[in-house]
Amino acid sequence: MNIKAPRGAKDILPQETLCWYLLEERFKEMCHIYNYYEIRTPLFEDAELFIRSVGEESDVVEKEMYVFKDRGGRELALRPEGTAGVTRAYLQHGMHNLPQPVKLFYFGPMFRYDRPQAGRQRQFYQMGIEIFGTKEPSADVEIIKFTADFFLGLGFNNLKLHINSVGCEKCRPFYQEALKKYADERLAQLCRDCQRRAQFNPLRLLDCKIKNCRELMKDSPQIDHFLCDPCRDHFNEVLALLEVLKVPYYVDSHLVRGLDYYTNTAFEFFSENAGPQGSLGGGGRYDKLAESLEGPPVPGVGVALGVERILLAMEEEGLASPETSDPEGVFLATGSPELKEKALLMAYTLRERGLKADADYANRSLKAQMKFAHRKRFRHVIILGKEEKLKNVIQLRDMLKGEQQELSFEEALNILTAKA
């Protein structure tokens, strides 16, 4: 067949899903402990939502967004990230009228048309958490501490937290002006996009992916010299609280992140071993996002983690392998075709008792069925042959211990349900 999965989109195969479950379960468990509730928003939204929130000048909107017109002529976009849609839903459903803060989490696919490579896909999964309705620095720190603990729980102990403040609408214009001035002096050497960024959105000069532009911007002014007092206080409080909670950080004064909605705190977790796609997750505060969507002023802060990147980094560091699951369940094997129906009925009885059970659907020989049960990592096999049928017994084989006993089916059932 010539039709393959689209470039940049991956099938997640059964042998990989165990690792996905591990991550998903750990994430949801932490969300429960931290008191976050799940929200599921549409995979596509009005394109305008992302233009207004993520920003018209951002790479995500300008170059990477999948935009299309539906049959009714509406301009829609596949969501490139989760925060905009969650904020839209928060406002649309009047969650600002609930006791604040409101703490939400999500898990699902996002879409960005970027050049695919290891750790960078066109369809990728994010898991994210957002806190709405508080400006407190302790909320920023909760988001960061959650993320740090999540990674530690998976076994990562070498991730680096980069953190910065991108200021607010009052102080940032002075910084942008300084950046623009710096860029204007080097305009001819910058790429076309950066020449335009210098004009319309100088902050974006700091996340150009082109090496030469990065080199040129290395010595550009740093935002910490421009922060107003409230922004500086907020940032200092975040850092002080991180120290209290013993979360190590590195202040990276050129970290601005690729999305326009950030105010104050911006941060990213990097894996040093994961190469150019080393950012396993990032987030920050977005106190003006709700207003940019014509909502009331609702501050917010959150993070999104890249599932595929985390799994890749886990594999590289030997933190997870699909083979780590223990053998489980019961396979019903029979050497005689006329006993097939009886074996199937036994499988249904086991399932009714909540046990994983399966039987042969391929008319294999008994030997081939045993091999199949081993490869599929069944812990037990119930063997039902003509002789067993006559004696009204079965053979229960423990595939791990290599032991076998002759029992009535009821006895086997009792043993298996007691173990489960």
Q: Write down the least CB distance from residue 312 to ligand HAM, Å.
A: 9
How many amino acids of this chain bind ligand HAM (CB under 6 A)? 26
Nearer to ligand HAM, 110 or 359 (CB): 110
CA distance 261 to 87: 12
What DSSP character marks residue 373?
H
Which range of residues in 124-132, 150-158, 368-376, 385-393 is near ligand HAM by CB under 6 A?
Answer: 124-132
Q: Does position 284 bind ligand HAM by CB under 6 A?
A: yes
Distance between CA atoms of residues 242 and 72, nearest Å: 50
User: Judging by DSSP bridges, how do beta strands 44-46 and 37-38 pair with one another?
Assistant: unpaired
- Secondary element (H or E) of residue 193: helix 192-200
48 within 8 A of 75, measured Cβ to Cβ: yes
Q: Could you tell me which stretch among 76-84, 316-324, 387-395, 400-408 binds ligand HAM (CB under 6 A)?
A: 76-84
Candidates 38-46, 223-231, 278-286, 335-343: pick the segment binding ligand HAM (CB under 6 A): 278-286
Residues 250 and 223 sit within 8 Å (Cβ to Cβ): no
Stretch that binds ligand HAM, among 114-122, 185-193, 232-240, 244-252 (CB under 6 A): 114-122
Least distance (Å) between residue 119 CB and ligand HAM: 6
Looking at 41, 126, 165, 176, which residue binds ligand HAM (CB under 6 A)? 126
120 binds ligand HAM (CB under 6 A): yes
Residues 180-239 that bind ligand HAM (CB under 6 A): none
Contact status: 59 vs ligand HAM (CB under 6 A): no
What DSSP assignment string belongs to 121-164? -SEEEEEEEEEES---HHHHHHHHHHHHHHHHHHT---EEEEEE
Q: For 47-114, where are the E strands, in sequence order?
A: 67-69, 75-78, 102-111
Residue least distant from ligand HAM (Cβ): 306
Nearer to ligand HAM, 137 or 258 (CB): 258
| β 159-165/263-271 pair status | antiparallel
- Contact letters (x/-) for ligand HAM, 292-331, by CB under 6 A? ----------xxx-x-xx----------------------
201, burial (CB in 10 Å: exposed 0-12, middle 13-18, buried 19+): middle
Structure tokens at 347: 């499988």
Nearer CB in complex with ligand HAM: 85/202: 85
Q: Which of 282, 290, 381, 382 binds ligand HAM (CB under 6 A)?
A: 282
Q: What is the rounded CA–CA span in Å between residue 214 and residue 330?
A: 58
Q: Which residues bind ligand HAM (CB under 6 A)?
A: 81-83, 112, 114, 119-121, 124, 126, 128, 130, 258-259, 279-284, 302-304, 306, 308-309
